[in-house]
Amino acid sequence: MSKILIIAEHADGKLNAGLSKVLAAAQKIGGEIDVAVLATDGASVAAEAATLAGVTRVLQIDNANNAHPIAVVLAPQIVELAGRGYSHILFPGTTTGKDVAPRVAAKLGVPQVSDVMAVHSATSFDRPIYAGNAILTVEAPAGVVVATVRLASFTAVAAGNSAAVEKVSVSAAAPAGTRFVSIQAAKADRPDLQSAARVVSGGRALGSSENFSIIYKLADKIGAGVGASRAAVDSGYVPNDMQVGQTGKIIAPELYFAIGISGAIQHLAGIKDARTIVAINKDPEAPIFEVADIGLVGDLFTVVPELEGKL
Amino acid sequence: MKVLVSVKRVVDYNVRIQIKPDGSGVVTDGVKHSMNPFDEIAMEEAVRLKEKGKVTEIIAVTLGGAKGEETLRTALAFGADRAIHVKEEGEIQPLTAARALAAIFKKEGAQILFTGKQAIDDDANQTAQMTAALLDLPQATFASKVELDGTKAQVTREIDAGLETLEVDLPAVISADLRLNEPRYLKLPDIMKAKKKTIEAVSFADLGVEAAASLKTIKTTPPPTRSKGVMVKTVDELVSALKAKGLV
Ligand SMILES: Cc1cc2nc3c(=O)[nH]c(=O)nc-3n(C[C@H](O)[C@H](O)[C@H](O)COP(=O)(O)OP(=O)(O)OC[C@H]3O[C@@H](n4cnc5c(N)ncnc54)[C@H](O)[C@@H]3O)c2cc1C
Ligand SMILES: Nc1ncnc2c1ncn2[C@@H]1O[C@H](COP(=O)(O)O)[C@@H](O)[C@H]1O
């Protein structure tokens, strides 16, 4: 039977919602599921994790070195935990998960499965390649399975559990040579892009950061998170953490608005799992209309304010 | 300071890929290939550091079949001083690539390995982190800014929450994200000059590297397609369509 360890992500004493989706993937594998919280004081995060369905036990690893999720610091601790007989070590497919997981896999001498989007068995998984334009079904070799889970592919498990929390200490020393300097985080006054049920994204067509207010207004009207194409981020209209796509965030909202976005394959890679895609573009030939459920050809500068007024 | 840059030959990002009807893989024969876009950025960063006098030698490395030479010529045209071709046919997965890169890094006594954050064919996003692990070195992945200061580097990283800055002691591994720089347009004289630079061919055996256990591909399938929806003509129609679907 599988014995699964999931590495929980957290910030400011709060659990990242991605855990409940990784748990859904872990339940498909089946077996015992432990969640590791590596923090300086992980009590509140561990307590939150213990409420999620499917969790067998939560391991709370308090360590002064864990003030920031730095791969070189976390990896040796996770490798040490792996020694407790786990068959699988799963990470959320976030930037932190993607930073840490390969470091753990290499130390364990096993390949890593990136972006698991479906579970066929304890060792067989689907994962996207070529910006999601092909799906590989892979079989992991003997040994520990290390994987990141594509959050947009799984539905969050429910709460209502009360798993045991166990304090665990690790001896792994923090390697020298890597220092946290600073973080410039976006203010969280809008729904989080990766968990929002509705997302409104703007592209190059917005033309400036001032004009992006059109997008924010529509988003605020319907309680949506705000995203952007790479072109909008590169042009400096919005910060990097808003980029949606192959190399940005992969999202699966109920409702997605692509406004002034052409629909390059790299952008589509991030929105393929959206339930309904609405596209507004002045070019009737824009590729975004090939995948949109509802399309409207028009100038966003007149259409979007009108839409905002009528919703 | 010597730096290593890994450059992978991949299907060009503009190509609409086709899946073989028998599900055995993606069609790559007769398809335009180019240097992985993230590796162009890694290459450009190394060249800029050399132009600023912070780097003395740039060594480009590729792993793969004979055609990898084209990618190395591109790297040499960017400004790499020399190139190493780890010539191996067939698929090379990240852990194996990392073993070879680690071996070359050690042998060359390099101070920085620059890689792309991910190869746009396998989208694995693993090789930099694995190489750093095998070498027990600091890693700074998804870099959007790199500042070298003697024996240290300050690297700004694009993460889900925003931008994080780490300071790492060298030697270290750095993986490039899209906004690190905009790669230069290669000029004909540079492409000509690149033809004269040396490419050293080595094998895994030469490097003392064994292929790692790898993921076995069972099949390759197309993703579920989204069907084309409806076009509406006015904002009122759009609002009604959204209401009909219970979305607003
Ligand atoms: C390796 C790699 C990775 C990448 N990763 C990503 C990624 O993660 N995410 C991403 O988004 N891109 C990514 N890209 C970039 C991608 O290829 C496109 O360049 C980008 O998505 C284009 O952004 P855009 O649609 O905003 O701009 P454009 O392609 O310039 O489209 C602008 C659209 O706005 C429309 N328009 C103009 N004016 C108006 C108006 N007044 N009203 C209505 N419509 C208007 C135009 O008709 C056009 O369709 C990547 C590229 C590479 C090479
Ligand atoms: N076969 C290869 N040859 C050269 N570089 C590679 C190879 N495979 C991976 N890399 C490097 O590792 C980065 C990340 O690749 P991956 O982990 O496959 O997504 C790429 O951008 C390259 O810089």
Q: How much is the pTM?
A: 0.96
Express each pLDDT in B79-98 by its tens digit.
999 999 999 999 999 999 99
B229: nearest CA partner in chain A:
A293
Whole-number pLDDT of residue B203: 97
At residue A28, the pLDDT reads 98
Alpha-carbon span A185 to A106, nearest angstrom: 30
Residues of chain B with C-beta less than 8 angstroms from the C-beta of A91: none
Atom of ligand 1 nearest to the CA of B38: 1
* From B167, B179, B226, residue closest to A272, measured CB to CB: B226
pLDDT of A274: 95
Are B222 and A134 in contact, with CB atoms under 8 Å apart? Answer: yes
Fold of A3-167: Rossmann fold (3.40.50)
Residues 75-104, chain B: which have Cβ within 8 Å of A? 93-95, 98
For residue A119, what pLDDT is reported?
A: 98
A-B interface: how many C-beta pairs under 8 angstroms?
249
Residue A311's alpha-carbon distances to A75, A159, A301, in angstroms, are 48, 33, 16
CATH of B2-244, one of 3.40.50.620, 3.40.50.200, 3.10.129.10, 3.40.630.30: 3.40.50.620
Q: Which fold does the domain A198-310 belong to in CATH?
A: Rossmann fold (3.40.50)
Residues of chain A positioned with their CB less than 8 A from the CB of B241: 294
- CA nearest to B176 within chain A: A247
Q: Give the minimum alpha-carbon distance from B231 to chain A in angstroms, rounded to a whole number.
A: 5
* Residue type (1 letter), A292: A
Whole-angstrom Cα distance, residue B43 to residue B6?
8
Helices assigned H by DSSP within A159-257: 213-222, 230-234
CA-nearest residue to A117 within chain B is B223
H or E element, residue A198: strand A198-202
- In order of A67, A188, B146, B163, the CA distances from A184 in angstroms are 16, 12, 16, 5
CB B164 to CB A180 under 8 A? yes
CB–CB contact A186 B154 (8 Å): no
Q: Return the pLDDT at B105.
A: 98
Residues contributing to the annotated binding site of A for FAD: 204, 229-230, 243-247, 260-267, 281
Ranges of chain A with pLDDT below 70: none
Instruction: Choose from A95, A119, A283 for mutation: most chain B CBs within 10 A.
Output: A95
SS (H, E, C) A1-64: CCEEEEECCEECCEECCCHHHHHHHHHHHCCEEEEEEEECCCHHHHHHHCCECCCCEEEEEECH
Instruction: Return the biggest CA–CA distance within chain A.
Output: 61
CB contact under 8 A, A296 and B169: no
Two structure tokens written together for A101: 């997981």
Structural domain spans, chain A: 3-167, 198-310
* Percent of all residues in chain B with a pLDDT value above 90, rounded to a whole number: 97
Chain A, nearest residue to B182 by Cα: A234
Q: Residues A122, B9: contact at Cβ < 8 Å?
A: no
pLDDT of B65: 96
Query: Per-domain residue ranges for chain B?
Result: 2-244
pLDDT digits (tens, 9 = 90+) for A181-238: 999 987 778 898 988 999 999 999 999 999 999 999 999 999 999 999 999 999 999 9
pLDDT at A245 (0 to 100): 95
Q: Which atom of ligand 2 is nearest to the CA of B124?
A: 19
The whole-number pLDDT of residue A123 equals: 98
Ligand nearest to the CA of B104: 2
Instruction: Find the A38 Cα to ligand 2 centroid distance in Å.
Output: 29
Q: Is the CB of A264 under 6 A from ligand 1?
A: yes
At residue B228 the predicted structure's pLDDT band, cuts being 50, 70 and 90, is confident
Sign of CA dihedral A202, A226, A128, B136: positive
Q: Which of residues 238-257 of A touch B (CB under 8 A)?
A: 239-241, 246-247, 249, 254-255
